[in-house]
Amino acid sequence: MFEAILLTVITASTPLVIASLGELVTERAGVLNLGVEGMMIMGAVCAFAAAQLTGSPHLGILAGILGGAIFSLLFGFLTLTLVANQVATGLALTILGLGLSGQIGEAFVGQPGVKLPPIVIPLLSDIPFVGRVLFSQDLTFYLSIALVIGINWFLFRSRTGLKIRAIGDSHASAHALGINVIRTRYLAVMFGGACAGLAGAQLSLVYTPQWVENMSAGRGWIALALVVFASWRPWRVLAGGYLFGAVGVGQLHAQAFGVGLPSQLLSALPYAATIVVLIIISHNRRTTLINTPASLGKPFVPDR
Amino acid sequence: MTLSEGPATVPLLSVRGLTKLFGSFAACSAIDLDIAPGEIHALLGENGAGKSTLVKMLFGVLQPSAGQILWDGSPVTIASPGEARRLGIGMVFQHFSLFEALTVAENIALSLDPRISLSRISDEAASLSKAYGLPLDPKAHVADLSVGERQRIEIVRALLQNPKLIILDEPTSVLTPQEADRLFETLFKLKAEGRSVLYISHRLEEVRRICDRATVLRHGKVTGACDPKLETPASLARMMVGSDVAEVHRDGETPLGDTCIEVSDLSVPARTPFAVSLKNISMKVRAGEVLAIAGVAGNGQGELFDALSGEYPVAEDEAIRIRGKAVGHTGINGRRLLGAGFVPEERHGHAAVPAMPLSDNLLLARSQSDRKAFLSAGFAAIVRHDAIRSATRRICEAMDVRKSGEDPLAGSLSGGNLQKFIVGRELDRQPAVLVVNQPTWGVDAGAASRIRQALIDLAKAGSAVVVISQDLDEIFEIATNIAVISEGKLSKAYPAGTLSLERIGLMMGGVHESHSIPEAAHAYRA
């Protein structure tokens, strides 16, 4: 029983962690993309369609990543090249993604899906309990853990990561130092899109292997809240992702057992927790300065 | 058959006919400049003269519209800051291009070869900063550092690239005198190593003290090249401003009228751990009088200004009186309605909103005190844009505010021009009482003399003026009476003619009670 719940929590948390990590990199570069939900659902429909048509779930994963990344390019073009308002553009991207995915997915409604098979790691998976929970998972789970470690190293140890953080802190100074702000931000936006797409692919190939309209069901918004909840730190995204994922699963079980807690209250919990974290970090000027990308959401036009 | 003595040394950097146009506005036009190896070369000019635009072109941040840059005698195109660094040009910006969220070492690493490891950068920065007398902790976050320390990061960052030319843009404008002295020692070390320095400033004394040659800019054109050590401050100023800097006139004594602002036994506890508490402050300023309050920064000037302006009303209503009315409990607008005007110290963010145009800044300050002029009657109080625009124009004309466009953003004006606007915004109301904190801090000579003259003229017209200032030259130029603030205590006010510099210095150091006033023979103003 406990093991079953744990497995559901992992499956429910993985897309949150992946999408949130992508948005974390985007925001560390100073771009606020509120279109995570839209990119996620586009990833989900592309992944499902590709897997259905080719019969290969791995091609489906690839299609999900590409779908999310290409869709995010639209956001990049509007906000970085045409310097449109990031908040408005992000919201528009979500609305567009939800509509467009419904259109694309119309033919696939009710079709049987292709499930991404688990990868059972030899030896490790023989460890009692832990082996079945952690080492008999599908590709997306392993990827999510690798992304946490990789992004943490990349942002805080590599020189390119340093440049991304510098751009997020002050794009004008970064430009003055000769860093190509626009190009780096394009790449960061596309990385965010690719992660959101991968998260969407997990939804339509692992979580519920079928295509249902609006199947992202607000997970993109939770991923956005999660970035702030984690104060822009990858390991905290992992912890927060599992916390929020567990809350979601707990909500279902509570309903099943007829616990008298309104489900709306539980679904609001991630957002309430995010607000609490925001209050805590904004209390101290120093932690805010050091953790929050100072140029987040601000448009950048280089003077030439 | 020997050749002649050899060619004259090729200048390290030559600029020929460099021009930068913004639309139809020429920020720099046909600039010529030569910098020899191993010299400290000053680039002098008032705010808005085109100094920053010129150096941005030299560092590849801006691209010239016309003209040529020669490096070691051969023409080069500096397409980016990276290009400039490869040539051997290092830059220390006026507004630091530092990242607050990053550590010192990370900040430095950003402008270096990415193959060098962070730990090596930390070590090199530490040893370099020691060698040049610029102490720095590589692991500290920039957010925690003082302005002087932040400038050291910029200098060390520039030095790590082993540049042949270092450009410093107004480096001392943010430093204390002691920090500035340290910086000069560093510059002399650099010069001794054969590096060249392009030193941008509008501070004449400094330039005469450390620079070998000077190029003077005005309105984007070169107006003079000289050896600053052979010039007087007055002759340099003439090249900078184009005419003699208007000397401030106060012909004749103004008869003093009624008391306009009076403070009696005002004590205010410190609001924050870093604030100074005010202790038993009493003062009285009459119509026609300029009371200057001298003091070293951080002795309660800001707190006194807050109490006088009503930004933080005080506990005792009777402690402050404006034109006879007790106003201790009254807020800023209430005091303004009584005919008082206030100019705080911080231009950006306190006296003006940088991201708003001048007209909006005018409306913000005066929407209550000049409600009838700027808002329509009745409940709706619709903003009368035409009236505000014409008032903005009037203020800019009266104070000679130089700006681009009809109604630019406050933040786009140079410091001196914005300060002239902010002071003019209050003067335009002809206030009966004006309280100004640091009226000419960080302002060029021309703008400063304009502002000082305006303050004197206001007093002459029958207003009471309180000037809080750290600039003793300014105080002696404009004050009728002088008081000194130290550790939150205000001295008695003495007539300006009876005080010597030494005596004020002693008072600023906290020696308040002295029984004899020194003879006028020692007075600063003969």
Q: What is the DSSP string of A192-208?
A: HHHHHHHHHHHIIIIIS
Instruction: Tell me the chain A residues in contact with residue B93 when contact means C-beta distances shorter than 8 Å.
Output: 176
Domain spans of chain A? 2-291
Distance in Å, alpha carbon of B61 to nearest chain A alpha carbon? 6
Q: What is the pLDDT of residue B288?
A: 92
Nearest CB to B100: which of A172, A177, A289? A289
| Tens-digit pLDDT profile for residues A56-68 | 999 999 999 999 9
Distance in Å, alpha carbon of A298 to nearest chain B alpha carbon? 13
**How far is B234 from B247, CA to CA, in rounded Å?**
11
Which of B21, B22, B61, B139 is best to mutate for the A interface (most A CBs within 10 A)? B61
- Residue A132, chain B, CB below 8 Å: the answer is no
Report percent pLDDT > 70 for chain A: 98
Neighbouring CB atoms inside 10 A of B151's CB total 24
Q: Which residue numbers in chain B have pLDDT < 50? A: 1-7, 513-526
| Tens-digit pLDDT profile for residues B449-475 | 889 999 999 999 999 999 998 777 788
Main-chain dihedrals φ then ψ at residue B509, nearest 5 degrees:
-80, 0
Contact B100 A179 (CB under 8 A): no
Q: What is the pLDDT of residue B7?
A: 47
**How far is B47 from B414, CA to CA, in rounded Å?**
6
Distance in Å, alpha carbon of A190 to nearest chain B alpha carbon? 23
Structure tokens at B267: 């004590």
Provide the pLDDT confidence category of residue A28 given band limits of 50, 70 and 90.
very high
Neighbouring CB atoms inside 10 A of B526's CB total 6
ipTM for the complex?
0.82
Non-local CB neighbours of A36 within 8 Å, separated by 6+ positions: A19, A22, A23, A94, A192, A196, A220, A221, A223, A224
Nearest CB to A166: which of B63, B110, B144? B110
CA-based nearest residue in chain B for residue A160: B114
Neighbouring CB atoms inside 10 A of B332's CB total 18
| Complete DSSP assignment for B223-259 | EEEE-GGGS-HHHHHHHHHSSPPPPP---SPPPP-SE
Instruction: Tell me the chain A residues in contact with residue B61 when contact means C-beta distances shorter than 8 Å.
Output: 176, 303
| Tens-digit pLDDT profile for residues A33-78 | 999 999 999 999 999 999 999 999 999 999 999 999 999 999 999 9
Non-local CB neighbours of B186 within 8 Å, separated by 6+ positions: B132, B133, B134, B155
Structure tokens at B203: 């501070």
- The answer to whether the beta carbons of residues B487 and B513 sit under 8 Å apart is no
- Residue A18, chain B, CB below 8 Å: the answer is no
**How far is B436 from B468, CA to CA, in rounded Å?**
6
Region B13-241: CATH code: 3.40.50.300
Distance of CA A252 to the CA centre of its chain: 22
Nearest CB to A169: which of B62, B101, B111? B101
Residue A219 three-state SS: helix
Nearest CB to B143: which of A172, A174, A289? A289
Structure tokens at B142: 């920039």
**How far is A137 from B450, CA to CA, in rounded Å?**
76
Structure tokens at B280: 């038993």
Neighbouring CB atoms inside 10 A of A59's CB total 15
CA-based nearest residue in chain A for residue B105: A162
Contact B102 A169 (CB under 8 A): yes
| Nearest CA-CA partner of B128 in B98, B110, B99, B105 | B105
Which of A153, A162, A167, A303 is best to mutate for the B interface (most B CBs within 10 A)? A162
Structure tokens at A147: 């992304």
**How far is B71 from B242, CA to CA, in rounded Å?**
31
Buried b (16+ CB within 10 A) or exposed e, B222-232: bbbebebeebe
Whole-prediction pTM: 0.70
- The answer to whether the beta carbons of residues B452 and B440 sit under 8 Å apart is yes
Residue recorded with tokens 């019969």: A55
- The answer to whether the beta carbons of residues A189 and A80 sit under 8 Å apart is yes
Instruction: Tell me the chain B residues in contact with residue A165 when contact means C-beta distances shorter than 8 Å.
Output: 99, 101-102, 106
Residue B432 three-state SS: coil
Which residues are bridge partners to B74 per DSSP?
B71
Contact A178 B80 (CB under 8 A): yes
Instruction: Tell me the chain B residues in contact with residue A163 when contact means C-beta distances shorter than 8 Å.
Output: 110
Length of chain B, in residues: 526
**How far is B282 from B265, CA to CA, in rounded Å?**
5
Contact B111 A159 (CB under 8 A): no
Which of B100, B142, B160 is best to mutate for the A interface (most A CBs within 10 A)? B100
| DSSP letter, residue B404 | S
| Complete DSSP assignment for B385-399 | HHHHHHHHHHHHHHH
Q: What is the pLDDT of residue B377?
A: 80
- Residue A27, chain B, CB below 8 Å: the answer is no
| Rg of chain A over all Cα atoms, to the nearest angstrom | 19
Torsion of the alpha carbons at B117, B121, B123 and B126, rounded to the nearest 10 = -170
Q: What is the pLDDT of residue A223?
A: 95
- The answer to whether the beta carbons of residues A220 and A19 sit under 8 Å apart is yes
Looking only at the bridges linking them, the beta strands covering B165-169 and B89-92 are parallel
Work out the burial of residue A297: count CB atoms within 10 Å of its CB; fewer than 13 is exposed, 13-18 middle, 19 or more buried.
Answer: middle
Q: What is the pLDDT of residue B8?
A: 57
Instruction: Tell me the chain B residues in contact with residue A162 when contact means C-beta distances shorter than 8 Å.
Output: 102, 106, 109-110
Non-local CB neighbours of B274 within 8 Å, separated by 6+ positions: none
Nearest CB to A178: which of B82, B99, B106? B82
Structure tokens at B284: 């009285």
Looking at CATH, the fold of the domain delimited by A2-291 is given as: ABC transporter involved in vitamin B12 uptake, BtuC (1.10.3470)
Residue recorded with tokens 């948005």: A23
Query: Could you name the CATH architecture of B259-354+432-522?
Result: 3-Layer(aba) Sandwich (3.40)
Domain spans of chain B? 13-241, 259-354+432-522
Q: What is the pLDDT of residue A35?
A: 97
- Residue B140, chain A, CB below 8 Å: the answer is no
Q: What is the pLDDT of residue A295?
A: 92
- Residue B99, chain A, CB below 8 Å: the answer is yes
Evaluated on CA atoms B487, B492, B494, B500, the torsion sign reads negative
Looking only at the bridges linking them, the beta strands covering B290-294 and B464-468 are parallel
- Residue A172, chain B, CB below 8 Å: the answer is yes
- Residue B82, chain A, CB below 8 Å: the answer is yes
| Nearest CA-CA partner of A278 in A291, A297, A264 | A291
